[in-house]
Amino acid sequence: GMDKEGRIVLPAELMAHAGITDRGCFVGKGPLFQIWQPDALAAHKAEARHRARTKGLTLPIRPRRDGGA
């Protein structure tokens, strides 16, 4: 739900499940989004980067279309 200032209020059960106390990070997933506990998100991102590096998964670097660096 939302409070009178328009902020999203998460149910206590969902907050407990995600380990969220006073802050959450919204992560876009196409038409959906997830809400993460900030430290858990940082750990997840670090692990994903590590997996990508160890498996040699990289994105090709292409020149910008606007000519910028």
Block residue for tokens 């959906």: 32
More confident residue, 38 or 63: 38
- In this predicted structure, the answer to whether residue 58 has a pLDDT above a threshold of 80 is no
pLDDT band at 20, cuts 50/70/90?
very high
Cα separation, 61 vs 54, in Å, equals: 19
**What's the pLDDT score for residue 43?**
96
Q: Is 29 left (phi over 0), alpha (psi -120 to 50) or beta?
A: beta
